[in-house]
Amino acid sequence: MQISRLFEIVYILLDKRTTTAKELAEHFEVSTRTIFRDIDALSSAGIPVYSRQGKGGGLSLLDNFVLNKSLLSEHEQNEILIALQSLTATEYPDIKIVLSKLSSMFNKDKSNWIEVDFSPWGSNISEKEKFNTLKSAIINSWIITFEYYNSSGVKSSRIVEPAKLTFKDKSWYLQGFCLTIKKYRTFKINRIIGIQVTGDNFIQKFTDELSIDIKEEPSMLIDIQLKISSEGAYRVYDEFDERDVVGCEDGSFMIATSIPKGDWLYHYILSFGTAIEVIEPESLRNIILVKLETMINNIKPKS
């Protein structure tokens, strides 16, 4: 039984007042027996659908029936519409149709007051296709293969039973059972390339190992202390945990945190330009100095 079809039947009855089982069957391309099962389901849910025989008869709702007054409070209506608006970000099939019809039934013309888009600014078509491929693989229980770069930039080939997509801290993650290493793993989606659907199905398994706590594959953490001037203030609370940040009287910030080691870290620190100072460890300072010397040599005029 399709929930969206039940909502649409109610929508049609509210809009047309009277219709027949035959008309509904033709509209949905199902049998009249299926329509009558749907009507029974609606009646069991407390929606007063009744049938009249003879000329001008058919299926109708009781006069003055309003869905929002019969089943859902004002708060519940808003919660449903907000949830559906959020779900449109995943481009879930037919969700916009259901949202439009529910908005009409709830008599809420301003259901588009919120828009959710998880894609980064400037996302290209290939990135959106990647998301849709993963979504379809999860829904249809398809095994997938791809190349993956971990936080240290090391590439590996993976065969994965995808379980769910998770959005956390400005990033999308794929969680699933990695057949390559026989363990549950979390993969950052923007590090996944070359996704292929194998065509092989698997049986979805539910496990506590797929928790909301995002833990990527192990990488070495180092303790660092940074000082960021007021020029870089706009990035501080976007990119660091507030518990690791201490504001200074001159408008700068002291940051003490643990962070994965790797080339990405050096480039990240350099992205702050003159607004950042590495306090500790000294080894990190030395690596940054070497990187800066290389950059200077790369941009020196050719003699």
- Domain contains 120: no
Q: How does pLDDT run across 227-238, given as a tens digit for each residue? A: 999 888 888 887
Spatial distance between the Cα atoms of 178 and 144, rounded to a whole number of angstroms? 10
- Residue of 263 and 24 predicted with greater confidence: 24
Spatial distance between the Cα atoms of 88 and 90, rounded to a whole number of angstroms? 5
CB 158 within 8 A of CB 178: yes
Q: How does pLDDT run across 102-119, given as a tens digit for each residue? A: 666 666 654 455 555 555
Q: Mean pLDDT across the stretch 82-90? A: 60
- Residue of 281 and 153 predicted with greater confidence: 281
- Tell me: do 193 and 227 sit in the same domain: no
Place of tokens 């249809």: 140
- Tell me: do 60 and 28 sit in the same domain: yes
**What is residue 197's three-state secondary structure?**
strand
Per mean pLDDT, which range of 98-102, 181-185, 242-246 is the poorest? 98-102
- Tell me: do 131 and 84 sit in the same domain: no
- Domain contains 116: no
- Residue of 1 and 273 predicted with greater confidence: 273
Spatial distance between the Cα atoms of 144 and 235, rounded to a whole number of angstroms? 36
CB 148 within 8 A of CB 156: yes
Place of tokens 């908005």: 103
Length of the chain: 303
Q: Which domain holds residue 161?
A: 125-201
Domain count, the chain: 3
- Domain contains 290: yes
pLDDT tops 60 at residue 31: yes
Spatial distance between the Cα atoms of 202 and 57, rounded to a whole number of angstroms? 49
Q: Mean pLDDT across the stretch 148-174? A: 82
| pTM of the predicted structure, to 2 decimals | 0.46
Q: How does pLDDT run across 39-48, given as a tens digit for each residue? A: 888 777 677 7
- Domain contains 113: no
The CA-to-CA distance between both ends of the chain, in Å, stands at 76
Residue type, 170: K
- Domain contains 47: yes
| 173 — pLDDT class (breaks 50, 70, 90) | confident
Q: How does pLDDT run across 192-233, given as a tens digit for each residue? A: 889 999 989 998 776 665 554 445 455 577 899 999 998 888
**What is residue 208's three-state secondary structure?**
coil
Spatial distance between the Cα atoms of 153 and 44, rounded to a whole number of angstroms? 57
Tell me the CATH number at 145.
Answer: 2.30.30
Tell me whether strands 142-149 and 49-52 are parallel, antiparallel or unpaired.
unpaired
Task: Using only the alpha carbons of the chain, give its radius of gyration.
Answer: 28
Place of tokens 């797929």: 210
- Domain contains 216: no
Sign of the Cα torsion 50, 53, 57, 63 reads negative
